[in-house]
């Protein structure tokens, strides 16, 4: 029994050369098309994820629940409606929905949604950049909520800031552990490292980091132990109150951005951290369709876990959110420590 646990996986150098890329219809353009296809997938399917979550929740609570297409109906309705904007609102108020819509799309360009090889903009930013880009959307949503001087908006936005501030260190710690194992923070490279490592990469620190990251996802997307996504009581809302002043198309954009944010975060969680398998290795329609199916399977599992948590936990009091995220931080810190000790 001389062999110990390998401290780091033997990481094959992941040198990206253009020779590795499939040559169909010009190197750059096919990658570009695939990259835009990923964006399209995220845009089209993110409301479905929301719908599936809502329906599953209904089934768990032994009622019929809304149709899985309900978010699409909502968006269709909102995009046909007129907007009402306060006279005193500045450009920030008008720009914020665009930001919260564009930000998840930007992140989509950086992460592996369908393909396991890096696409055109894969090296534009890493996972930390994704985190900060997502924070930019939150920043503008907060500014917009303060812009109209509605008391509920300000209250909600300051609460959202609090949750985000507390989630930030956990996110950083998680990414540090991931980057230590994979020697990179580029999502594609991390995915490849886990994939090549096979079961070798399932360390204690990996388990701890996965738990911590999942807790952060719950907090960042306004899910139940932190915030009730279905609650419409103004004094208790955290995430929803930012969009209280919006109506019509702007509200549609904000809502769609929220759906995409959940989709993107869950995709990073599944494709990069938990199940790096089942991504397309080539740019053929069959492989992409298979990857889409695999992605849905993974997201469905993720949605089931979220629904289980949402149906069994009560919402935390606001001042216990800090304790929840503090626990997440300690978990991720333990992950970091166990990595360095070499367990």
Residues forming contacts to another protein in the complex (CB under 8 A) are 1-5, 199, 202-205, 207-208, 211, 320, 322-323, 326-327, 330-331, 333-334, 337-338, 341-343
The nearest distance, CB 190 to another protein, in angstroms, is: 20
C-alpha span between 296 and 10 (Å, rounded): 30
Q: How near is the Cβ of 220 to another protein at its closest, in Å?
A: 19
Minimum Å distance from CB 343 to another protein? 6
Our CB check for another protein shows the closer of 5 and 235 to be 5
Compare residues 256 and 339 and give the one whose CB is closer to another protein.
Answer: 339
- CB burial of residue 77 (10 Å; 0-12, 13-18, 19+): exposed
Least distance from another protein to the Cβ atom of residue 320, Å: 8
Please work out, in degrees rounded to the nearest 5, the angle formed at the alpha carbon of residue 315 by the alpha carbons of 314 and 317: 125
Nearer Cβ to another protein (130/338): 338
Structure tokens, 323: 């304790």
CA–CA dist 269, 217 (Å, integer): 9
Comparison of 54 and 225: residue with beta carbon closer to another protein: 225
Measured from the CB atom, the residue of 59 and 343 that comes closer to another protein is: 343
CA 91 to the chain's CA centroid = 27
- The number of C-alpha atoms within 13 Å of 95 and in the hemisphere containing its C-beta is 11
Q: Which position has the token pair 């914020």?
A: 96
- Cα four-point dihedral sign 304, 305, 309, 310: negative
Shortest reach from residue 6's CB to another protein, in Å: 9
For the CB of residue 206, give the shortest distance to another protein in the complex, in Å. 9
Residue 2 or 151: the one with the smaller Cβ distance to another protein is 2
Shortest Å, Cβ 134 to another protein: 25
Shortest distance, position 180 Cβ to another protein, whole Å: 16
In DSSP terms, 280 is beta-bridged to 115
Q: Which is nearer to another protein, 118 or 197 (CB)?
A: 197
Nearer to another protein, 235 or 314 (CB): 314
Residue number, 28 or 341, with CB nearest to another protein:
341
HSE-up of residue 9 (Cα within 13 Å, Cβ side): 24
Encoding tokens for residue 315? Answer: 């919402």
Residue 225 CB, nearest approach to another protein (Å): 14
């Amino acid at each position: 029994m001389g062999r110990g646990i390998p401290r780091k996986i033997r990481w094959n150098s992941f040198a990206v050369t253009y020779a590795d890329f499939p040559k169909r219809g010009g190197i750059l353009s096919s990658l570009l098309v695939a990259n835009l296809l990923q964006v399209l997938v995220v845009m089209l399917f993110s409301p479905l994820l929301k719908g599936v979550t809502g329906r599953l929740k209904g089934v768990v609570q032994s009622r019929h629940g809304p149709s899985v297409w309900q978010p699409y109906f909502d968006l269709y309705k909102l995009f046909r409606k007129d907007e009402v904007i306060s006279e005193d609102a500045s450009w920030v108020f008008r720009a914020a929905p665009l930001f919260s819509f564009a930000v998840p799309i930007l992140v989509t360009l950086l992460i592996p949604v369908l393909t396991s090889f890096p696409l055109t903009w894969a090296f534009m930013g890493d996972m930390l950049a994704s985190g900060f880009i997502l924070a930019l959307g939150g920043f503008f949503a907060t500014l917009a909520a303060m812009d109209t001087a509605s008391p509920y908006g300000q209250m909600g936005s300051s609460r959202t800031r609090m949750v985000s501030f507390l989630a930030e260190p956990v996110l950083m710690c998680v990414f540090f552990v991931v980057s230590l194992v994979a020697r990179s923070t580029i999502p594609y490279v991390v995915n490849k490292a886990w994939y090549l490592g096979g079961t070798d990469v399932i360390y204690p620190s990996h388990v701890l980091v996965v738990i911590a990251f999942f807790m952060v996802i719950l907090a960042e997307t306004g899910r139940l132990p932190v915030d009730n996504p279905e609650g419409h009581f103004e004094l208790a809302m955290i995430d929803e109150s930012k969009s209280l002043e919006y109506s019509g198309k702007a509200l549609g954009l904000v809502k769609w951005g929220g759906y995409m944010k959940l989709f993107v975060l869950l995709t990073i969680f599944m494709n990069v951290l938990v199940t790096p398998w089942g991504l397309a290795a080539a740019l053929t329609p069959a492989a992409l369709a298979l990857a889409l199916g695999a992605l849905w399977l993974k997201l469905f599992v993720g949605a089931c876990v979220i629904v289980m948590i949402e149906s069994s936990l009560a919402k935390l009091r606001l001042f216990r959110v800090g304790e929840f995220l503090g626990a997440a931080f300690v978990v991720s810190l333990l992950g970091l420590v166990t990595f360095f000790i070499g367990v």
